[in-house]
Amino acid sequence: MRRLALAVALLLLATLPYWVGNSYYINVATQTLIYAVFALGLNVLVGYAGLVTLGHAGLFGIAAYAGATLVNAGHGHIVVAVGALAATLAATAMFAVLALRGTGLGFVMITVALGQIVWGIAYRWISLTNGDNGISITARPRPFGLALDSADAFYWATLVVFLIAVAAMAIFVASPFGAAVRGTRDQPRRMTALGYNVWLTRFLAFLFSGFWSGVAGLLYLYYNQFISPQTVALSASAEALLMVIAGGTATLLGPIAGAILVIIMKDVASAYIERWNFVLGAIFVVIVIFMPEGLVPGSVRLWRWGISLLRPHGAPVLRRESGR
Amino acid sequence: MNLWLILSVNSVTLGGLLFLLSAGFSLIFGLMRIPNLTHGSMFMLGAYFGVSCIAWGFGFWTAALLAGLGVALFGAVIERFVLRRLVGAELAQVLVTLGLSFMVADVCLMQWGGDPISVETPPMLRGATAVFGLAFPTYRLAIIVIATVIAAALWLLLDRTRLGAMIRAAVDDPAMARVVGIRVSHLFTIVFALGAGLAGFAGVIGGPILSVYPGLDQDMLPLALVVVILGGTGSLLGSLVGSFVVGFLYNFGQAVFPELAYVVLFLPMLIVLVVRPQGLFGRVTL
């Protein structure tokens, strides 16, 4: 049954350009896949390692900026991809060393500050990043001689990367390393007692997460052929975090569902109102207050609660003690 | 006048403003364990309230006080009706403050538009004052005086009053404070409102120097974060020292490395994180 569902989903995804037809919607699908890769990467840290970060758009942006600089310097696809990902990994390592000095709320505060440094560089270091005007690249690179200029072709290229990312996540979750990462989230002291190096496990999880954020950032650059400080702003990190928590953290499908939800909401919202940030903020507040377990499980719970209100009450139930 | 002297005065002025902003942030974090990401929004909201009050014909100082009170009230409402529901769920509180900060920013954009609004310096404080034979801009000196007075008042409040003693007790050990009969949740509302009000007040009196514009919140929040990470949370002295360090770095950084000023600002924070993660004067470890 699960395999059947998986096969149908794969088939639908692979043939999407044929049954959608309109290139606008194919592009929306491409964007969703790119953000799904980003959300999958972020979920490693937020969901499995239990380390909430608000600086991940910085890593996404570093990959895109490094890629743009390398493309404009006239390098080929391989050099661009390797260079951009190497730069992202180096930055991730730095982020991790600093942010892991704090735990819990300290970690959040440090990642906010680090994300703002990247934003500050993107916005103010004009000779490197061209400031507010951003950097454009003239054409999408042609990896292995494939032309990626049409919406369909780029969709399939993104789909391949996305599937590799999903497979990597599935392997990560099932691996002993994945179990160790979850262990450091739930019981760091016991993990230490068992002989695991908690710091190193978290550091590696951070690197893994940063790598996929970088991949998504590079795809984003190729897709838009443009990168500007807007991409690395705090609101971009918040958006990615919303994808992860909306879909349900520490699940394989959650971030993907979250990315679909957020991109569609953003697309629909921006057609009617220009205030996406307000909607984003409001969704955050609503989700956190009413559905702390994520949008999908939360909706199910609220639905059941609503149904139970409609039903006539039968036998009296023992009153549940409130926690006072 | 000597360029370096001007820079120093500007640095001390910015430090004073940052102290007003970060003292509340630091107390809120120390007491409630919330990195209040709406703190930049409180600063901006105060500035916009001040602009409106001045437009309605209030004097500058009345406007600053009214804006501070307005923002304090707003902070109290948020604490009482939103954050209170999430006590213990620290992460949820961070996310809610983040969501609220986006909403406030967008409402301000809707209400006051996207153009920067400049705030007139109050007439009494225009021009320059001679101190030790050197001319200093009067308004900046006034900010320094105000910040000093408020710092002293805050210190008296925390160190010499019953309320201050209760707040200190709750910062050090909330559970034990409750046991001895301190209503810690009331303190939460008071401290949150106080912090928000100070930030709002700082927004108005910073107006003539910084002007008011969309994005002011996102500019101020990282500064408050740096100050608090640098100085340590829950410590007034830490905020004070951190504010002046950041004030100097920001102004001198802009003069010496214009493109990298924003990055230079974060360097001491990074060093402190590596060497002393609880901050220079931290009472509570991060």
User: What's the pLDDT score for residue A319?
Assistant: 46
Task: Label each residue of B218-286 as H, E or C.
Answer: HHHHHHHHHHHHHHCECCHHHHHHHHHHHHHHHHHHHHHCHHHHHHHCCHHHHHHHHHCCCCCCCCECC
- Considering only CB atoms, B106 lies closest to which of A275, A284, A292, namely A275
What's the average model confidence in pLDDT over B194-212? Answer: 90
What's the average model confidence in pLDDT over B55-82? Answer: 91
What confidence tier does A312 reach under pLDDT thresholds 50, 70, 90?
low
- Considering only CB atoms, A120 lies closest to which of B82, B100, B262, namely B262
User: What's the pLDDT score for residue B283?
Assistant: 58
Q: What residue in A sits closest to B278 (Cα-Cα)?
A: A102
* Closest chain B C-alpha to A270 CA, distance in angstroms: 14
Which contiguous run of DSSP H or E holds residue A138? none
On whether the CB atoms of residues B171 and B234 are closer than 8 A, the answer is yes
B235-262 pLDDT per residue, tens: 788 888 889 888 888 888 888 877 777 7
Set of chain B residues whose Cβ sits within 8 Å of the Cβ of A97: 274
Distance between CA B181 and CA B187 in Å, rounded? 12
- Considering only CB atoms, A120 lies closest to which of B98, B102, B263, namely B263
Which pTM value belongs to this model? Answer: 0.83
User: What's the pLDDT score for residue A308?
Assistant: 78
User: What's the pLDDT score for residue A313?
Assistant: 54
- Determine which of A90-94, A103-107, B44-48 has the lowest per-residue pLDDT on average: A103-107
Set of chain A residues whose Cβ sits within 8 Å of the Cβ of B286: 101-107, 109-110
On whether the CB atoms of residues A77 and A141 are closer than 8 A, the answer is yes
Q: Let me know the angle formed at the C-alpha of A154 by A152 and A155, rounded to the nearest 5 degrees.
A: 65
B91: Cβ contacts below 8 Å, ≥ 6 apart: A52, A108
Contact B99 A285 (CB under 8 A): yes
On whether the CB atoms of residues B218 and B224 are closer than 8 A, the answer is no
What's the average model confidence in pLDDT over A46-55? Answer: 87
Residue indicated by tokens 């437009």: B55
* Closest chain A C-alpha to B29 CA, distance in angstroms: 9
Contact A289 B273 (CB under 8 A): no
Contact A113 B35 (CB under 8 A): no
Residues of chain B with pLDDT > 70: what percent?
97
B77-101 pLDDT per residue, tens: 998 888 888 877 777 888 888 889 9
What's the average model confidence in pLDDT over A93-104? Answer: 86
More confident residue, B179 or A106: B179
On whether the CB atoms of residues A288 and B97 are closer than 8 A, the answer is no
User: What's the pLDDT score for residue A295?
Assistant: 64
Contact B262 A103 (CB under 8 A): no
CB atoms within 10 A of CB A172: 19
Which of A51, A108, A244, A279 best tests the B interface by mutation, with the highest count of B CBs <10 A?
A: A108
Structure tokens at B78: 């948020």
The dihedral of CA A19, A21, A27, A28: what is its sign?
negative
What confidence tier does A79 reach under pLDDT thresholds 50, 70, 90?
confident
On whether the CB atoms of residues A68 and A135 are closer than 8 A, the answer is yes
* Closest chain A C-alpha to B221 CA, distance in angstroms: 9
- Strand pairing partners for B134? B131
Which phi-psi region, left, alpha or beta, contains residue A21 (left: φ > 0; alpha: ψ -120 to 50)?
left
Distance between CA B148 and CA B168 in Å, rounded? 21
Residue indicated by tokens 């102290």: B19
User: What's the pLDDT score for residue B49?
Assistant: 92
Distance between CA B71 and CA A247 in Å, rounded? 34
User: What's the pLDDT score for residue A323?
Assistant: 41
* Closest chain B C-alpha to A233 CA, distance in angstroms: 9
A287-302 pLDDT per residue, tens: 877 776 666 667 777 7
Residue type at A106 in one-letter notation: G
A126-146 pLDDT per residue, tens: 778 887 788 888 777 777 767
Pairing, β B128-131 against β B134-137: antiparallel
CB burial of B49-66 (b: ≥16 within 10 Å; e: otherwise) equals bbbbbbeeebebeebbbb
User: What's the pLDDT score for residue A320?
Assistant: 47
What confidence tier does A317 reach under pLDDT thresholds 50, 70, 90?
very low
CB burial of B202-225 (b: ≥16 within 10 Å; e: otherwise) equals bbbbbbbbbebbbebbbbbbbbbb
Q: Let me know the angle formed at the C-alpha of B30 by B24 and B35, rounded to the nearest 5 degrees.
A: 70
User: What's the pLDDT score for residue A294?
Assistant: 64
Contact B286 A275 (CB under 8 A): no
Beta strands in chain A (DSSP E): 135-136, 226-227
Distance between CA A29 and CA A151 in Å, rounded? 10
CB burial of A303-316 (b: ≥16 within 10 Å; e: otherwise) equals eeeeeeeeeeeeee
Q: Please give the full DSSP string across B67-112, using - where no structure is assigned.
A: HHHHHHHHHHHHHHHTGGGGTT-HHHHHHHHHHHHHHHHHHHHHHH
Structure tokens at A213: 């954020």
Query: What's the burial of B173, exposed, middle or buried (CB within 10 Å: 0-12/13-18/19+)?
Result: exposed
On whether the CB atoms of residues A207 and A96 are closer than 8 A, the answer is yes
Set of chain A residues whose Cβ sits within 8 Å of the Cβ of B260: 124-125
User: What's the pLDDT score for residue B76?
Assistant: 93
Contact A288 B96 (CB under 8 A): yes
User: What's the pLDDT score for residue B221?
Assistant: 87
Pairing, β B134-137 against β A226-227: unpaired
- Determine which of A41-55, A231-245, A269-283, B43-57 has the lowest per-residue pLDDT on average: A269-283
Residue indicated by tokens 């990597």: A168
- Strand pairing partners for B212? B117
Asked if B135 is an interface residue toward chain A (Cβ–Cβ < 8 A), one would say: no
Is residue B74 predicted with pLDDT exceeding 90?
Answer: yes
Set of chain B residues whose Cβ sits within 8 Å of the Cβ of A292: 89, 92
- Considering only CB atoms, B102 lies closest to which of A105, A241, A281, namely A281
Distance between CA B195 and CA A85 in Å, rounded? 42
Set of chain B residues whose Cβ sits within 8 Å of the Cβ of A127: 259
Q: What residue in A sits closest to B230 (Cα-Cα)?
A: A110
Is residue B269 predicted with pLDDT exceeding 90?
Answer: no
Residue indicated by tokens 């309109």: A22
What confidence tier does A60 reach under pLDDT thresholds 50, 70, 90?
very high
More confident residue, B234 or A172: A172
Q: What residue in B sits closest to A286 (Cα-Cα)?
A: B96
Is residue A252 predicted with pLDDT exceeding 60?
Answer: yes
CB atoms within 10 A of CB A26: 19
Residue indicated by tokens 């209040």: B36
User: What mean pLDDT value characterizes chain A?
Assistant: 83
On whether the CB atoms of residues B231 and B280 are closer than 8 A, the answer is yes
What confidence tier does A311 reach under pLDDT thresholds 50, 70, 90?
low
Q: Which of A253, A282, A235, A190 is nearest to A60 (CA)?
A: A235
Distance between CA A178 and CA A205 in Å, rounded? 9
The dihedral of CA B26, B28, B34, B35: what is its sign?
negative
Set of chain A residues whose Cβ sits within 8 Å of the Cβ of B77: none
Set of chain B residues whose Cβ sits within 8 Å of the Cβ of A278: 102-103, 106-107
Structure tokens at B207: 């107006």
What confidence tier does B200 reach under pLDDT thresholds 50, 70, 90?
very high
Is residue A194 predicted with pLDDT exceeding 60?
Answer: yes
Contact B259 A233 (CB under 8 A): no
Within the 88-107 window of chain B, which residues sit less than 8 Å (CB to CB) from chain A?
89-92, 94-96, 98-103, 105-107
More confident residue, B281 or A218: A218
Asked if B257 is an interface residue toward chain A (Cβ–Cβ < 8 A), one would say: no
B142-190 pLDDT per residue, tens: 888 899 999 999 889 888 898 888 888 887 888 888 898 888 888 889 9
- Considering only CB atoms, B259 lies closest to which of A103, A127, A282, namely A127
Residues of chain B with pLDDT > 90: what percent?
17
CB atoms within 10 A of CB B160: 10
Contact B286 A102 (CB under 8 A): yes
A154-172 pLDDT per residue, tens: 888 889 999 999 999 999 9
Q: Which of B175, B257, B262 is nearest to B222 (CA)?
A: B262
More confident residue, A44 or A251: A44
**Three-class SS of residue B107?**
helix
Residues of chain A with pLDDT > 70: what percent?
91
* Closest chain A C-alpha to B200 CA, distance in angstroms: 21
What confidence tier does A41 reach under pLDDT thresholds 50, 70, 90?
very high
On whether the CB atoms of residues A57 and A236 are closer than 8 A, the answer is yes
ipTM over cut 0.90:
no
B10-50 pLDDT per residue, tens: 888 889 999 999 988 888 887 777 888 899 999 999 999 99
